[in-house]
Structure 1
Amino acid sequence: MSFDESAFNYKISSDHKTGTDLDILKRLFGNKKFDKTLDVAAAAGHCAKIFNAKQYVVSDLSFNMLKEALSDWPVPSAVKNCAETLPFKTQTFDLISCRIALHHFRDAEGFFKESSRALKNNGFLVLIDSLVDIEDAYLNTIEFIRDPSHFRSYTFKEIVNMTADYFRIDFMQLLYKKHNFDEWSKRLNPSRERLEKISQAFLALPENIKHELSLEIADENILSYTDKKAVIILRKL
């Protein structure tokens, strides 16, 4: 189970190739033009393509993810690297984006510090990720069962605290995203045993958490669940 082995699944994923979050970015940035942008943990490049730039750079730890990002979009430069140590000169980019990936980073504050360094003064950091409340530790546990590379989804307060030394928040919008359980649970090509563990973890949730996640179940089969996402636009201090 790895992102290299499942890269194409992310390219065609309904959770990634479309979404209200991307529509918000189009609305906010549709009339802006940038010299150079960077998409961190770019996966198949769905977010990177939103922005209008003279030069695009996409980065990811997975070589096959980068191949998918460039397979039908030969314009950008691609760099294989981890998000916490960006191999770029100080004040290189006008905008850095990171979509549905922060929860994988072992040093989220390190990523924010590096993004601030690599951004030009007053540059944008566009962040989209899962957002949890204090009781949603249950979902962090289930995410880890599904994907051992999952580290942690954060509360909004935690994100504010991690970014306060480097950025101000220009915009924030909370979204509720409904996930088709079959597609979501199988995206990383799990074994039958892991699939069963994921299902059982959902079924064992307390009733109030099932309600919080709008869990849809039919005959002990999970159909969907809904989590929270945040679109956060930050500006370098």
Structure 2
Amino acid sequence: MREKIKSAFNQLSEAYEHTVDKESLYNTELERPAMMLEIPKNLEQMQMLDAGCAAGWYTNEFLRRGAKVIAVDVSPEMVKATKRRVGTAAEVRCLDFGESLPFADETFDYIVSSLALHYIEDWRKTFSEFQRILKPNGILLFSVHHPTMDIHLSEKQAYFETELIIDQWKKNGQTVEVPFYRRSLATIVNEANTYFTIDKMIEPQPTGHFKLKKPEKYKKLMKSPHFLIVKVKNKK
């Protein structure tokens, strides 16, 4: 399944590089503003890991705030896109953060994972590795699909199961099958709390600009959340 996910995002890399930043209000006016509010404006002397960097929007923002950044993604094409965006200003690697990570213990002050963890079936390995490479009291900030949104895509409607979903994305005139794993809210919270101390949970709301551009979608999002953001602190 990891190969199918890699293949899907290789196909989607051009859209992420050239259109998502301008056209996807779910990114630009919903998830990203809420995530960035949880990150210090001054990141000088901070070592950041962008886990699931896609085409490098977050990597670039962290660099602008003064951070030292390592960005990783499972998709080789996404890695190429990030390198085109930031050049040599950040270290960009193609690797699967569902596996063991090639970083020393207590390397990072922050790990940020934007809409990437739901592509990993078993979080135990990932969270164990994140805990290892975070400094004591280091922060993990991650966003995922909201469980109440995901359940509508489930054929079985088995809310409490961790379930593989094959979604259909239409980008740049092509339809791409995108596999991901949906989880209950309790599963998300309990798995995070096993390795970290939960600081905050956020159900982001769309911005005023979203309302102006897509009023009907804005109304829908104000009634049914689309994303969930979780901020946790290393227990070490």
Per the normalisation by structure 2, the TM-score is 0.71
167 and 72 in structure 1: CA distance in 2 versus 1, 3 angstrom threshold: same
CA–CA distance in 1 between the matches of 2:96 and 2:14? Answer: 20
- The residue number in structure 2 matching 1:84 is 98
Note the C-alpha offset of 1:26.
2.9
Aligned pairs for 1:143-222 (under 5 A) are 144-146=166-168, 148-175=177-204, 214=220
- The residue number in structure 2 matching 1:137 is 151
Note the C-alpha offset of 1:16.
6.8
Please, which of 125, 133, 137 is the counterpart of residue 140 of structure 2?
125
Q: Which amino acid aligns with 1:175?
A: P
Find the structure with the greater CA-based Rg: 1
Q: Which amino acid aligns with 2:93?
A: V
118 and 28 in structure 1: CA distance in 2 versus 1, 3 angstrom threshold: same
The gaps in structure 2 that reach 5 residues or longer are 1-6, 156-163, 169-175, 208-218
Per-residue CA deviation, residues 160-197 of structure 1 (Å, 9 max, x unaligned), is: 1111221111121113569xxxxxxxxxxxxxxxxxxx
Per-residue CA deviation, residues 35-93 of structure 1 (Å, 9 max, x unaligned), is: 21111111011223333344111101111101111212121101111112222111111
Q: Which amino acid aligns with 1:91?
A: E
- Aligned with 1:151: secondary structure? strand
- Aligned with 1:38: secondary structure? strand
- The residue number in structure 2 matching 1:7 is 13
Note the C-alpha offset of 1:145.
3.9
- Aligned with 1:88: secondary structure? coil
Q: What percentage of residue pairs aligned between the two structures are identical? A: 23
Q: Which amino acid aligns with 2:233?
A: R
- Aligned with 2:179: secondary structure? coil
Judge which range, 108-117 or 93-102, deviates more. 108-117
153 and 53 in structure 1: CA distance in 2 versus 1, 3 angstrom threshold: farther
The gaps in structure 1 that reach 5 residues or longer are 179-212, 216-225
- Report if aligned partners of 1:130, 1:154 keep a CA contact under 8 Å in 2: no
Judge which range, 137-146 or 100-109, deviates more. 137-146
Do structure 1's residue 40 and structure 2's residue 51 form an aligned pair? yes
CA–CA distance in 2 between the matches of 1:49 and 1:154? Answer: 30
Q: How many residues align?
A: 194
Note the C-alpha offset of 1:6.
2.2
Note the C-alpha offset of 1:214.
4.4
76 and 136 in structure 1: CA distance in 2 versus 1, 3 angstrom threshold: closer
Q: CA RMSD in A?
A: 3.0
Per-residue CA deviation, residues 9-29 of structure 1 (Å, 9 max, x unaligned), is: 122221575133322233332
Q: Which amino acid aligns with 1:78?
A: V
Per the normalisation by structure 1, the TM-score is 0.71
